[in-house]
Chains A and B, each alone.
Chain A
Amino acid sequence: MYEHDVIVVGAGGAGLRAAIGAHEAGADVAMVSKLHPVRSHTGAAEGGINAALREGDDWELHAYDTMKGSDYLGDAPAIETLAQDAPEDTIRLEHWGMPFSREDDGRVSQRPFGGLSFPRTTYAGAETGHHLLHTLYEQVVKRGIQVYDEWYVMNLAVSGEADPNDRSCHGVVAYDVQSGGVEGFRARDGVILATGGPGQAFDHTTNAVSCTGDGNAMAYRAGVPMEDMEFVQFHPTTLPSTGVLISEGVRGEGGILYNEGGERFMFERGYANNDGELASRDVVSRAELTEVNEGRGIEDEYVHLDMRHLGSERILDRLENILHLAEDFEGVDGLVEPMPVKPGQHYEMGGIETDENGQTCIDGLYAAGECACVSVHGANRLGGNALPELVVFGKRAGRHAAGEDLGAPEIETGYGDDVEDEGMELPVTPGEAGLPERGSGEAVADGAGAVADAEGLVERAVDRERERVERLMGRDDGVQHAEIRAKLQQAMTADVNVFRNREGVERALETIRECREEYRDVYVDDPSRTFNTDLQQTIETRNLIDVAETIALGALVRNEFRGAHWRQENQERDDDEWLKHTLISWNGGKPSIWYRPVILEGQDKTYEPKTRSY
């Protein structure tokens, strides 16, 4: 068994910053990551990192913009913490050598971004995430922080008290991808989950293959509520074959969207008579999908984004990297033909419920980054607000886990007196399928009984995971995970995407349940212990099922239109009923849903919900 003060699971921007934070606070910290750190999906972020650095800007403006962008579903203490800490944490990246783009006076460059009242998106070319990731990794190398890379974390070692608020986390169980060995990692002071987004729950996404929501699923099964999972951001212009993102820059420069009949549908079909192609992401995504659904899509799948009329000179000057993307990943030359595009899953606003210090309701268990929900983004994330979240809350989680006093949090976590619980009966019986894999004893939340000694607890967790591996590897036939995963992803894309209605979401939940049933007979065909990605992906698929279910359940119960979540039955924001977070927790193997009011009271002022118009 390995042992450290703090264990960080995941080595993207959030995990790396958390590890540095814990190290700064004096802890013996180690990182466990299924990918080598520089392979993490933070590297794909292009646009920039929001921070109020300049005269004329201040954290209060940043906080205001973020609250408004969130459609009043972000919690003020989280948003204000983000806005207050972002400048210092961004400048720190610069001090660590991050190659930001520069102005003539040598200062770091900032650009305007959607929904921001000041150009505060600090950037490093068109590859801000890549530089942020590599800069943080360099600092981890410098500090000699131990990284267990290509170790896949399978589960958490959490005690099993009846009430999740009484439980505590003592480590993780991971398997060494190269050798197949399953080992325990004991954390004396805390475990920080920084496992990124769950984009692979959908069949078309800008997220990497590794974005499988592992941290979410593990925390959920251990008893931590998932918050606001229904809020999923879709991006309107992604390449059909890979999901690679084509930036809004193309439309900003004058690119036009056409349907199969050559209609400029944003105008001609009345989706956005004023703004046309420049309408907000969700409007454009829904318009594109309507065209396809009504038979006006190309190959029944996508629409065209045309920039040829801009002329090759202008395209080469301003949009050159788009030409490379279209060519490398879609085999299309944007100078001579229109580019195929369609909406794709992009970002998960919801996640593991935490407070401003990154802590969950389980003692010693933290989360930061896209897998967490503090909540900063509420119903809709503003571009450039995810990267500052990684460094601000990553750092805080690391420091707090290492024992630093960051003051009492204002955000509550876990089921408590302040929640609203209607004892809601769900119209479908989703998590009935807390169905164990066939042949395993486990039926409910993963926690074992309460044990006094932490080491024993980790050991028992290791034993359970070793058995699980043997079970999955031991079977000779059944279903393969790829089949189940494809079915799940298609159901989510068909019915829990930018268009949602009760009937569709219920249909998706039925399919998710079928996936669970089928997963009971899942088997791993590759008999090898060496680099068995079949085994790893089989475990990931289980996590995707759990996460997809929380997204669908949230989408089912929230009968309003707020931010990225649109419901056909009620296409208005409903502040009387819905200024509250959706929380889903896994009780006895079955999800239960309850709500917690949004905190709109900030440090000095209360944010009044206004119409989100710009």
Chain B
Amino acid sequence: MSTQQESVESEPEEPESQEVPEDQEMSGLASPQQERLQRKQAALEERERAESDHDMDDDRVHLKVFRYDPEVEGKQEPRFDDFHVPFERGMTVLDALIYARDEFDSSLTFRHSCRQAICGSDAFFINGRQRLGCKTQIADLDQPVRVEPLPHQEAVKDLVVEMEHFYDQMHAVEPYFQDEETPDASELDEQRQSRENREKVKMSTRCIWCGACMSSCNIAAGDNEYLGPAAINKAYRFAMDDREDEEIKEHRLRILEQEHGVWRCQTQFSCTEVCPKDIPLTEHIQELKREAVKKNLKFW
């Protein structure tokens, strides 16, 4: 290599995803992340064991994928197709699906985009549980790997489900800052918010609208009008944010208190278990119930 490169500037402090250490955001002190890490550690050990003694079928992954297409003969009756995909270290379920589609069957259909657990497109029912395809390591799973569309949602084609109902519920909680007085251009001052309050809403703001929680919820399956964990969490995100005033908070609680709102939740924790963003959904719902009670006490 030529040494001319040394003359190039150096930018020791680097852009993008740099985390500033003192940001409490990133310090995982006894946080849910910490717990998650421990869980992961266990999973990792398990995986290492699996990798060493698992017969990966000649280093091929056996996928069993749900297929359905309302207008193609032979696919109108739902069925499972088998794909044998060469295994590579680090391979996720999404990688395996992409391989199967690009190499074997271009009609294999599933939503996906970011490949990094942020767009929320690829929640599937994998080996009997709601997970993001891109965030699930093949090596962590028993074979064959069964991939199905999210249960309790209308199937559109293969792994694609109808999301409209989910979006409708999200929109039903008025998911936006209410303050009508949008400051005019000259105003350069931000609203103040305490670190504690920001911390309070932090986990709730991480939702990526994947729909896993809704799909795992028995109540939502039985009551189509139930707002569901994601929408209630969205409402929590605003109701708990001090930047909105009390009146609006009460308005929000009233939306949540209705027949198909928070009181439907029977604290089964299924949503919390499947949420790929580790949002304590059930806790948030419980907290809103308590808030609602407090509010009622005030009036009665």
Contacts and interface: CB of A to CB of B under 8 A. Distances in A.
Interface of A: 35-36, 38-41, 43-47, 53, 87-88, 91-92, 94-97, 99-109, 111-116, 121, 123, 125-127, 130-131, 134, 138-139, 141-142, 178, 208-210, 235, 239-245, 247-249, 251-253, 269-275, 278-283, 286-287, 290, 316-321, 323-325, 327-333, 382-384, 480-482, 486, 524-534, 571, 611-614
Interface stretch (B57-65, B110-118, B250-258): B110-118
A271 B5 contact: yes
B73 to A, nearest CB: 9
A330 B107 CA distance: 27
A135 to B, nearest CB: 8
Given A38-B209, A43-B114, A287-B1, A242 B92 contact: yes
Contacts, number: 324
A313 to B, nearest CB: 11
Given A274-B6, A274-B10, A329-B92, 4 more contacts: A99-B241, A126-B19, A316-B34, A331-B137
B11 A114 contact: yes
Contacts of B187: 91, 95
Interface residues of B, number: 103
Interface stretch (B176-184, B265-273, B283-291): B176-184
A134 B176 CA distance: 9
Contact of B167 (A36, A41, A53, A106): A36
B71 interface: yes
Contact of B14 (A107, A383, A529): A383
B252 to A, nearest CB: 13
A40 B19 contact: no
B3 to A, nearest CB: 6
B84 interface: no
Given A94-B190, A102-B198, A331-B89, A138 B114 contact: no
Contacts of A253: 21
Contact of B15 (A40, A91, A272, A382): A382
A237 to B, nearest CB: 10
A230 B167 CA distance: 40
A94 B191 contact: yes
A184 to B, nearest CB: 24
Contact of B12 (A88, A278, A384): A278
14 contacts: A35-B119, A36-B163, A46-B17, A92-B183, A95-B190, A112-B13, A125-B25, A247-B17, A248-B14, A251-B14, A318-B26, A384-B16, A524-B106, A532-B109
A561 to B, nearest CB: 9
B16 A329 contact: no
A590 to B, nearest CB: 31
A38 B177 CA distance: 17
A37 to B, nearest CB: 10
Tell me whether chain A's interface is mostly helix, strand or loop, or mixed: loop
Tell me whether chain B's interface is mostly helix, strand or loop, or mixed: loop
A242 B27 CA distance: 26
A613 B10 CA distance: 7
B189 interface: yes
B16 A208 contact: no
B99 to A, nearest CB: 10
A142 B176 contact: yes
B298 interface: no
B91 interface: yes
Given A245-B16, A331-B90, A101 B95 contact: no
A530 B157 contact: yes
B166 to A, nearest CB: 10
Contacts of B192: 105-107
Residue from B9, B88, B171 with most neighbouring chain A CB atoms (10 Å): B9
A95 to B, nearest CB: 5
B217 interface: no
Nearest to A140: B176
